[in-house]
Chains A and B, each alone.
Chain A
Amino acid sequence: MTRLLDVENLTLDFDTDEGRITAVDDVSFSLEAGEIMGLVGESGSGKSVTAKALMKLNASNAIYGQNTKISLNLADGPVDIMSLSTAKELQIVRGGAISMIFQEPMASFAPAITIGAQMVEQLLIHTSMSALKAQEVSIEMLNRVGISDASTRFKQYAFELSGGMRQRAMIAMALSTNPKLLIADEPTTALDVTIQAQVIDLMKDLVKDFGMGIVFITHDLGVIAQTADSVAVMYLGRVVEKGPVRQVIGNPSHPYTQGLIKALPRLDDLDSPLTPIPGDIPSPLERPNGCVFNTRCSQFLGSQCSAEIPEFTPISHDHMVACHIYQQDQKGT
């Protein structure tokens, strides 16, 4: 496998009326071609902002940190995303090398333009295809994602399609430009479980066929377990634990990851009580010092947790955790 994406020290602030808010704080990860990486966390953890940063798609009040480096390796050499500034330069990645699918397929399609016209439009922008060829490719893509009677659907509007079909059309549209990286922001959250299972299968098939990388954002650890190869758990703008999905879910080592798993209602164990993580995610205006999770952590150690930002410690190959408690346990044993 080849390295597709490298994100180093991604830091992102927003300049708001109430002051400067840190949305993403020193996040690093990488992705291979053909890999699905899950990005998990509660609302407000910064996972969507991180994903949008890969295309510099955040609002104009976003301020990127000095040391932020995002590099995307394409066939004709690496692209330094931070150095792109004009809309024309950014078009190489936005909708070109990187495509994005959103949570709410109804809100993402223009309601008064047919599905087909929208698919053709973006192909004309990003490729040198003729309109006729673009139509052909679009219908073929709709077929590929399992939409029956694709040439009829091509002429329909978003409201004429069911939720699952709309999300498939969205995926078809995102993939028709043949992107190297697909960002999927909660793509199954608005869908029923039976439809969700279909969409998850489809995405796994597509990774195999097209060999692109996927950044899969979700708050549902079950969905991550079924789709992703690796996972990064985010809390209040920081990655607190990352690694291969089996290790992170099988041996969660950060109190936050453990809390997320304990709070999840599980069908295989109806007797165990649901354990919420105490407290609420703090306002980004009141970011805690030290470990960002220290205000809700049940194993809080004291001044160390509230003053020092914990460094990543390897647990096993590739499985990393940023937690003082883990470090101390390691020293003790």
Chain B
Amino acid sequence: MKRDTLISATNVSVHYPISGGKLLGPKPVVRAVENVTLNITKGSFFGLVGESGSGKTTLGRAMLKAAPITSGVVNFNDGEVNYSLSNMSSKELKDYRTRAQLIFQDPYAALSPRMTVRDIIAEPLEIMRLTSSREETDKRVREIAAKCRLNLEHLRRFPHAFSGGQRQRISIARALVSEPKFVVADESVAALDVSIQADVLNLLKEIQQEMGLTFLFISHDLSVVAHICDHVAVMYFGRLVETAPTRELFNNPCHPYTKALLSAIPSLDPDAKNLAQKLEGEIPSPTNPPPGCKFQTRCPHAVDICRRDEPQLESVGDEHNVACHRWQELM
């Protein structure tokens, strides 16, 4: 583990058993995350992108110990504590919950309609017993609310009185009130209008710098990731296919899947038509994937070796890794 790494995953797999299969044979599993290794540097805004079903949410939850880690190691080290997530006591887990938090996608579903905003934000403090008096709780709630640009008057109201953007600011305040070190933001702006999305993104960035947070920002939207993250990992079918510093990834994408994703983003220029590299074919079945590269069924460049051997991440340049047999030829 590198010195400035806050959280790292080493060969992490998450498999979910499903029903079916032969009576005495092996139980079929869905390999939601398969053999993923990544390091998140302290203070970074780390983006995780991929289509629905790529395993990005599961990986994010595994790093919060909210999904079962089948094999591999997740290590968390913030300078004060050092935890290995697959092997921790319940006391350590409780402590880890104060240090690692999650912001959900849908601000309409994530907030209890029967609690006031003050109670919603105060709940983590009360459950984790981080404050000793009601006055102290109120003070912490007011501080974080101000940081998230919520008025004092808002605290007395119920979530239904707020718009989508305001609700997402309440969710953010709740996640940050325990002063975590590591925050997983799972599609936190996907449900918002563009005009509001920009506001929430700016807020996340501001707070990150102010509180020295480390973010794992999960998103399907590459243009959002490009603007807010300093490092990006692209997932496909439970595997990492490419990781790089943001600019490097966008200027020099090496994996055919990354290239296809980038070109599929609709441009504001009506004349930029037909530049998109169209992906044909279907995503393979998660219970019965083909051998070799999992992208072969949609890849326009697949050859024999892609159908036989699974590519491993290899270095392209400084901090830039790609898992593709043919990236050099395709440059």
The smallest beta-carbon distance between A70 and chain B, in angstroms, is 27
Task: Indicate if the CB atoms of A197 and B264 lie closer than 8 Å.
Answer: yes
Task: Indicate if the CB atoms of A222 and B266 lie closer than 8 Å.
Answer: yes
Within 8 A of A (CB), among B254-293: 260-262, 264-270, 272-273, 276, 278-279, 282-283
Set B51, B194, B268, B283: member contacting A263, Cβ < 8 A: B194
Contact pattern, B 198-226, Cβ under 8 Å of A = 1, otherwise 0:
11011000000000000000001111101
Set A198, A201, A219, A246: member contacting B194, Cβ < 8 A: A219
Name the residue of chain A whose CB is nearest to the CB of B276. A197
Bound Cα distance from A223 to B278, whole angstroms: 16
Bound Cα distance from A267 to B82, whole angstroms: 38
Bound Cα distance from A225 to B270, whole angstroms: 5
Task: Indicate if the CB atoms of B198 and A263 lie closer than 8 Å.
Answer: yes
Task: Indicate if the CB atoms of A43 and B164 lie closer than 8 Å.
Answer: yes
Chain A: interface size category: 35 or more
Residues on the B chain within 8 Å of A193, using CB: 51, 220-222, 261, 264-265
Assess whether B87 is interfacial by the CB under 8 Å rule: no
The smallest beta-carbon distance between B132 and chain A, in angstroms, is 37
Within 8 A of B (CB), among A244-265: 245-246, 249, 259-261, 263-265
Bound Cα distance from A39 to B221, whole angstroms: 22
The smallest beta-carbon distance between A211 and chain B, in angstroms, is 20
Assess whether A277 is interfacial by the CB under 8 Å rule: yes
Of the listed residues B199, B202, B262, B278, the one surrounded by the most CB atoms of chain A closer than 10 A to its CB is B199
Task: Indicate if the CB atoms of B165 and A280 lie closer than 8 Å.
Answer: yes
Residues on the B chain within 8 Å of A226, using CB: 266-267, 270, 272-273
Bound Cα distance from A223 to B260, whole angstroms: 17
Bound Cα distance from A42 to B165, whole angstroms: 12
Residues on the B chain within 8 Å of A260, using CB: 194-195
The smallest beta-carbon distance between B226 and chain A, in angstroms, is 6
Assess whether B80 is interfacial by the CB under 8 Å rule: no
Instruction: Write 9 A-B pairs (CB below 8 A) sorted by A numbering.
Output: A192-B52, A225-B268, A226-B272, A265-B221, A267-B222, A267-B262, A267-B265, A275-B198, A281-B163
10 further contact pairs, Cβ within 8 A, besides A192-B52, A200-B266:
A42-B194, A163-B52, A193-B265, A219-B193, A225-B267, A226-B270, A267-B222, A267-B250, A270-B246, A270-B247
